[in-house]
């Protein structure tokens, strides 16, 4: 009972005590486990110990870990860059540098390859053919080169709904030509259906291809879609595999849209990323080009050598030119007064000139420009000296004497001659000073006039020009030289105011404005022929009479304009000498009507048909005619020649068309038969005779004339005249006649 | 954009190509050129606020020994069945074709065009026949068209487009 009366707390504590005895060890362990579970720090520690191994193990099993971590990693990178981009950029620096370099190298290599392709084919025979193709097709040369060197390129991709043939998506390597993609898509479907129906091929056959010229269309079918790829070149087998993969991906990704397709293609906008993986191309080298690439180094070497050769040639040429110029320069310096060259040398392109130079001589560098030489390439080492060269001595004298205006200095030998008007004081000074000038040993002043006060007064009054000389003998003043009448009148009046001059003479002065003087000037300038008479009228107009050539008259007109004082040139009374000679020839030779005479440049020309007797008479007398230097009968035909008679007969034949049709009448054909017969006769007289046919046409009948001419030629050929014996010409002359004549070829005339 | 494939069918020489040319290019030629196989054209039309790109498959005419290639019909959303108004024998041909199409594709939107309405003197399709055609599948639109003058041509194609959108 006691046990039964025990309180429940007491029994509970007993159980607790018992539990503690029995499970003390387990309880401690459970506490430890709880602590472990609840302590986050201990968790982190534990995970940290196994995390690396866990990631490694999970990564081996698949991509799930990467996919799971992707958002976290992206966020982490974004946050890191937002906070401070430097650590990340520092970390990526070793990676980015090579990546960028690689990308740039790749781009440059591509560009060089394209350039190489164009250059390689620019000058080859194939290149020329491609240039022709480019010209013919209107494409650029680079495009043609690309098309021919292309290994392959996917140009267009069509994703087609299999059942309806409707276009779901289309990609093209360029934007042109996309307008009809939907029609092409339907048409491809129709063609596919047609082929399947016609050749009973399996509709599930995976690949179909269609070749159209350079293009190949590969069609790959999926359950709901058809993928058509338009390629150019040799397609790699991998493309077929890629197409299958893309089709599978599309089928997988757009399965629902394809199943429920109702014509709305907007559901397939995102398919582009899948299809774009098929837009591939390869411009790699073809085998045949690889062989040509082996020649590339040779071409480069030849090119470099050619450039080097050209440069060398140019260098030699320049050197030669420089040397020649230099020699000419040295030569000219040697001839220069006041310069003595003792030594000329050249080192590294620098020329050194050594010698003596008078300070009054010409500056040597001033001549460099004349010979296109550079002053930087020349060095002068001249010692000064006093030259005894004529020019230098004279220069020295002028420098020393400083002669006033009107004084002239001349040097003959060692004597200085001074002439002109100067005061006595200057004359004395000059005489003394001149002897101090190196190179002058004597002075002659006999020609030096020392003017008197009277003559100075006279000069002041009349103000003579340099052409007038005054001479005063006592009270008699005599003028000589040239002057106008007006000046002479003024001079005479002025002299009258000077009482010391009792006598004045100007008769010897030539009046430069007198008709006589002007006439003499004109005669001197014109080289007047004997057949021309010149006179000067009171109005100072030159009048020419007689016979002259046109050439002389034109020359005289031009010359007269240059002579001052002459107011005009009247040549109306002149007759053309050619006309006169021709008139004289006509009178003497009396040619028959069939002969035409002409005269030019001293040659009398006779042309036409003339009797033999007249030709003989003309040849005997023509050269006797004054002014005729030669008589030409090259264009003159003797009418006694049987061949010429036939020619006259042929020339009398002509066909006239009355309408604008090229038809030939039976009458025309009869005439042509007659013509052919005459021609055959002329051939016997001269085997090189040709039949000349001149077909005239007007504005509307050129084509008709050509057809008629061709018909006439074919008829004449039928009558035995060959093409080589016919000389035909179409001539625009405003009528529609066809004329004939016989021609002797050069062989015959010679 | 909505795309729809439609087929234009009928006996040879009823004017299928001319009707298509009139609808697509507004052109008509007196010259008769028999269609070999199929000719495909496209025209975009507006039905309400919807743009519909009609891919028109002009299929060669049905003749005794030259039946229509049914594979060309696959995926068609609508049919235009053409009858020559001057040739009564083209009516049964049209109905035969339609029956075959419906066997393959099921009942799909269809419009009857009785063409050459400009040849009034030679016209020989009685109104009874027209009414019978209009009663095909309870209700089928029937138009008397002229590819030459363009009469009811655009209207009939637009009607079919409308039916395609509503179906």
Taking residues A304-317, what's their average pLDDT?
87
Q: Which residues pair with A418 in a beta bridge?
A: A409
Q: Identify the CATH number of the domain in which residue A557 sits.
A: 3.30.70
Confidence of residue A747 (pLDDT cuts 50, 70, 90): very low
Confidence of residue A13 (pLDDT cuts 50, 70, 90): confident
Specify the pLDDT at position A124: 66
Taking residues A145-158, what's their average pLDDT?
77
Specify the pLDDT at position A271: 85
Specify the pLDDT at position A123: 61
Query: Cβ–Cβ contacts within 10 Å for residue A705, how many?
Result: 23
**Which residue segment(s) compose the domain that B111 sits in?**
2-166
Q: Is A201 on the interface with B (CB under 8 A)?
A: no
Q: What tens digit of pLDDT does each residue of A584-597 get? A: 888 888 887 778 88
Q: Is B41 on the interface with A (CB under 8 A)?
A: yes
* A135 found inside a domain: no
pLDDT at A749 over 70: no
Q: Please state, in angstroms and as integers, the Cα–Cα distance from residue A677 to each residue in A111, A680, A694, following that order.
A: 77, 5, 19
Query: Of the spans A62-66, A470-474, A550-554, B81-85, which averages the highest pLDDT?
Result: B81-85
* A136 found inside a domain: no
- Please report the DSSP string for A422-485 in residue order: --HHHHHHHHHHHTTSTT--EEE-TTEE---HHHHHHHHHH---TTEEEEEETTEEEEEEEE-H
Inter-chain residue contact B42 with A264, CB threshold 8 Å: no
Q: How far is A202 from chain B (nearest CA, A)?
A: 13
- Please report the DSSP string for A491-515 in residue order: HHHHHTT-TT--EEE-TTSEETTSH
Q: Shortest CB distance from A166 goes to which of B41, B55, B164?
A: B55
* A143 found inside a domain: no
Specify the pLDDT at position B148: 92
Distance CA(A121)–CA(A125), nearest Å, equals 8
pLDDT at A193 over 90: no
Taking residues A181-203, what's their average pLDDT?
77
Number of domains present in the structure of chain A: 8
Spatial contact of A433 and A397, defined as CB atoms under 8 Å apart: no
Structure tokens at A557: 């007109």
Q: Shortest CB distance from A265 goes to which of B3, B71, B77?
A: B3
**Which residue segment(s) compose the domain that A66 sits in?**
15-83
Burial (0-12, 13-18, 19+ Cβ within 10 Å), A749: exposed
pLDDT at A4 over 50: no
Q: Are residues A459 and A496 in the same domain?
A: yes
Q: Are residues A203 and A226 in the same domain?
A: yes
CB-CB neighbors (< 8 A) of B2 in chain A: 262-265
Q: Which of A638, A657, A678 is the last residue of a domain?
A: A638
Nearest Cα residue to A687 out of A716, A725, A733? A725
More confident residue, A611 or B151: B151
Confidence of residue B16 (pLDDT cuts 50, 70, 90): very high
Q: Shortest CB distance from A263 goes to which of B3, B71, B72?
A: B3
pLDDT at B34 over 50: yes
Q: Are residues A397 and A326 in the same domain?
A: no
Q: Shortest CB distance from B69 goes to which of A166, A186, A197?
A: A197
Tell me the average pLDDT of chain A: 81
Spatial contact of A218 and A243, defined as CB atoms under 8 Å apart: yes
Distance CA(A366)–CA(A357), nearest Å, equals 14
pLDDT at A3 over 50: no
Cα end-to-end span (Å), chain B? 17
Distance CA(A86)–CA(A136), nearest Å, equals 59
pLDDT at A262 over 60: yes
Specify the pLDDT at position A750: 34
Confidence of residue B145 (pLDDT cuts 50, 70, 90): very high
Number of domains present in the structure of chain B: 1
The residue whose two tokens read 């030939």 is: A664
Query: Of the spans A117-131, A430-444, A550-564, which averages the highest pLDDT?
Result: A430-444
Spatial contact of B150 and B19, defined as CB atoms under 8 Å apart: no
Spatial contact of B93 and B21, defined as CB atoms under 8 Å apart: no
Burial (0-12, 13-18, 19+ Cβ within 10 Å), B119: middle
CB-CB neighbors (< 8 A) of B40 in chain A: 183, 186-187, 190
Q: Are residues A362 and A335 in the same domain?
A: yes
* A129 found inside a domain: no
Specify the pLDDT at position A120: 59
Q: Is B105 on the interface with A (CB under 8 A)?
A: no
Q: Which of A595, A621, A638 is the last residue of a domain?
A: A638
Q: Identify the CATH number of the domain in which residue A585 sits.
A: 3.30.1340
Q: Are residues A548 and A533 in the same domain?
A: yes
pLDDT at A638 over 80: no
Query: Cβ–Cβ contacts within 10 Å for residue B59, how many?
Result: 25
Q: What tens digit of pLDDT does each residue of A669-709 get? A: 889 999 999 999 988 888 888 899 988 887 677 777 878 88
More confident residue, A390 or B82: B82
Element (H, E) at A352: strand A350-357
Nearest Cα residue to A635 out of A666, A603, A672, A682? A603
Distance CA(A87)–CA(A96), nearest Å, equals 14
Distance CA(A27)–CA(A29), nearest Å, equals 5
Taking residues B142-154, what's their average pLDDT?
94
Distance CA(A26)–CA(A22), nearest Å, equals 9
Spatial contact of A463 and A479, defined as CB atoms under 8 Å apart: no
Strand ranges, E, within B1-96: 2-10, 38-47, 50-59, 78-84
Query: Cβ–Cβ contacts within 10 Å for residue A145, how many?
Result: 24
Q: Identify the CATH number of the domain in which residue A214 sits.
A: 3.30.450.30
Q: How far is B28 from chain A (nearest CA, A)?
A: 21
Nearest Cα residue to A376 out of A348, A408, A407? A348
Q: Identify the CATH number of the domain in which residue B24 sits.
A: 3.40.50.300
Specify the pLDDT at position B82: 95
Q: What is the dihedral of CA A458, A459, A463, A466, to 10 degrees?
A: 140
Q: What tens digit of pLDDT does each residue of A356-381 get? A: 999 899 888 888 888 888 888 888 99
Burial (0-12, 13-18, 19+ Cβ within 10 Å), A79: exposed
In percent, how much of chain A has pLDDT > 90? Answer: 4
Strand ranges, E, within A639-679: 654-656
Q: Is A199 on the interface with B (CB under 8 A)?
A: no
Confidence of residue B150 (pLDDT cuts 50, 70, 90): very high
Identify the three-state secondary structure at position A9: helix
Query: Cβ–Cβ contacts within 10 Å for residue A626, how many?
Result: 10
Q: Are residues A163 and A273 in the same domain?
A: yes
pLDDT at A297 over 80: no
Q: Which of A405, A426, A449 is the last residue of a domain?
A: A449
Spatial contact of A693 and A740, defined as CB atoms under 8 Å apart: yes
Identify the three-state secondary structure at position A629: coil
Tell me the average pLDDT of chain B: 89
Q: Please state, in angstroms and as integers, the Cα–Cα distance from residue B89 to each residue in B110, B128, B146, following that order.
A: 20, 15, 18
Specify the pLDDT at position B6: 95
Specify the pLDDT at position B41: 92
Distance CA(B134)–CA(B137), nearest Å, equals 8
Nearest Cα residue to B167 out of B52, B58, B57? B52
More confident residue, A146 or A464: A464
Nearest Cα residue to B109 out of B140, B72, B143? B140
Nearest Cα residue to A651 out of A727, A745, A742? A742
* A304 found inside a domain: yes
Choose the weakest-confidence range: A182-186, A231-235, A342-346, A614-618: A231-235
Inter-chain residue contact B55 with A197, CB threshold 8 Å: no
* A123 found inside a domain: no
């Amino acid at each position: 009972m006691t046990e039964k009366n025990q309180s429940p707390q007491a029994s509970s504590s007993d159980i607790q005590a018992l539990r503690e005895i029995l499970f003390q060890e387990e309880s401690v362990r459970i506490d430890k486990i709880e602590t472990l579970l609840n302590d986050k720090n201990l968790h982190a520690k534990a995970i940290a110990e196994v995390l690396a191994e866990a990631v490694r193990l999970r990564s081996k099993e698949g991509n799930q870990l990467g996919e799971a971590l992707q958002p976290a990693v992206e966020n982490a990178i974004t946050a890191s860059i937002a906070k401070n981009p430097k650590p990340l950029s520092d970390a990526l620096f070793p990676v980015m540098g090579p990546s960028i370099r690689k990308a740039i190298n790749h781009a440059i290599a591509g560009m060089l390859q394209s350039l190489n392709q164009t250059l390689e084919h620019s000058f080859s025979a194939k290149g020329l053919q491609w240039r022709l193709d480019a010209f013919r097709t209107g494409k650029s040369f680079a495009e043609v080169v690309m098309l021919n060197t292309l290994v392959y390129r996917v140009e267009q991709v069509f994703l087609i709904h299999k059942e309806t043939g409707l276009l779901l998506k289309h990609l093209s390597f360029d934007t042109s030509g996309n307008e009809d993609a939907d029609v092409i898509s339907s048409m491809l479907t129709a063609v596919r259906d047609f082929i399947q129906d016609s050749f009973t091929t399996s509709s599930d056959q995976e690949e179909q291809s269609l070749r159209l010229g350079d293009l190949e269309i590969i069609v790959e079918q999926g359950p709901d879609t058809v993928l058509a790829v338009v390629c150019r070149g040799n397609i790699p087998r991998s493309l077929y595999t890629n197409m299958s993969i893309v089709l599978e991906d599309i089928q997988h990704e757009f399965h629902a849209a394809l199943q429920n397709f109702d014509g709305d293609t907007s559901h397939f906008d995102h398919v582009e990323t899948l299809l774009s993986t098929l837009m591939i191309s390869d411009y790699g080298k073809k085998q045949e080009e690889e062989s040509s690439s082996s020649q590339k180094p040779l071409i480069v070497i030849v090119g470099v050598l050619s450039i080097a050769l050209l440069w060398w040639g140019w260098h030699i040429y320049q050197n030669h030119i420089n040397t020649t110029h230099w020699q000419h320069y040295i030569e000219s310096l040697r001839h220069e007064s006041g310069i003595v060259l003792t030594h000329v040398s050249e080192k590294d392109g620098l020329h050194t000139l050594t010698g003596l130079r008078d300070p009054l001589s010409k500056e040597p560098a001033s001549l460099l420009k004349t010979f296109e030489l550079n002053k930087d390439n020349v060095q002068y080492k001249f010692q000064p000296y006093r030259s005894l060269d004529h020019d230098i001595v004279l220069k020295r004298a002028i420098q020393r004497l400083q002669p006033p205006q009107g004084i002239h200095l001349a040097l003959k030998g060692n004597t200085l001659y001074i002439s002109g008007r100067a005061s006595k004081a200057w004359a004395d000074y000059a005489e003394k000073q001149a002897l101090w000038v190196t190179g002058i040993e004597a002075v002659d002043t006999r020609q030096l006039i020392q003017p008197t006060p009277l003559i100075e007064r006279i000069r002041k009054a009349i103000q003579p020009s340099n052409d007038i000389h005054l001479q005063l003998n006592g009270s008699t003043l005599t003028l000589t030289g040239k002057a106008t009448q007006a000046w002479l009148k003024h001079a005479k009046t002025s002299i009258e105011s000077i009482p010391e001059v009792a006598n004045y003479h100007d008769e010897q002065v030539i009046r430069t404005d007198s008709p006589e003087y002007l006439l003499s000037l004109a005669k001197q300038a014109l080289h007047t022929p004997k057949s021309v008479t010149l006179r000067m009228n009171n109005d100072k107009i030159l009048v020419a009479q007689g016979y002259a050539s046109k050439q002389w008259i034109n020359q005289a007109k031009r010359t007269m304009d240059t002579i001052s004082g002459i107011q005009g040139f009247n040549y109306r009374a002149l007759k053309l000498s050619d006309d006169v000679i021709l008139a004289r020839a006509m009178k003497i030779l009396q040619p028959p009507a069939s002969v035409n005479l002409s005269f030019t440049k001293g040659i009398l020309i006779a042309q036409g048909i003339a009797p033999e007797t007249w030709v003989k008479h003309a040849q005997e007398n023509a050269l006797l005619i004054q002014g005729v230097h030669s008589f030409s009968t090259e264009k003159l035909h003797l009418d006694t020649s049987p061949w010429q008679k036939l020619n006259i007969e042929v020339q009398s034949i002509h066909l006239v068309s009355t309408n604008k049709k090229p038809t030939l009448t039976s009458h025309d054909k009869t005439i042509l038969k007659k013509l052919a017969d005459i021609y055959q006769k002329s051939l016997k007289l001269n085997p090189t005779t040709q039949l000349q046919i001149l077909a005239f046409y007007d504005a509307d009948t050129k084509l008709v004339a050509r057809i008629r001419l061709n018909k006439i030629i074919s008829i004449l050929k039928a009558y035995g005249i060959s093409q080589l014996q016919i000389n035909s010409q179409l001539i625009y002359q405003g009528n529609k006649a066809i004329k004939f004549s016989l021609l002797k070829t050069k062989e015959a005339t010679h | 954009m909505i795309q729809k494939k439609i087929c234009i069918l009928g006996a040879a020489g009823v004017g299928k190509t001319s009707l298509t040319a009139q609808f697509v290019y507004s052109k008509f030629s007196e010259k008769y050129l028999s269609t070999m196989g199929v000719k495909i054209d496209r025209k975009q039309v507006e039905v309400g606020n919807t743009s519909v790109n009609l891919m028109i498959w002009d299929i060669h005419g049905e003749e005794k020994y030259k039946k229509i290639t049914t594979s060309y019909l696959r995926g068609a959303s609508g049919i235009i069945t053409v009858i020559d108004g001057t040739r009564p024998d083209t009516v049964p041909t049209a109905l035969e074709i339609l029956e075959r199409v419906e066997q393959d594709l099921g009942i799909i939107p269809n419009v009857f065009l009785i063409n050459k309405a400009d040849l009034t003197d030679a016209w020989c399709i009685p109104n009874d026949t027209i009414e019978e055609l209009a009663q095909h599948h309870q209700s089928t639109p029937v138009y008397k068209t002229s590819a030459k003058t363009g009469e009811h041509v655009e209207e009939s194609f637009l009607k079919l487009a409308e039916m395609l959108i509503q179906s």
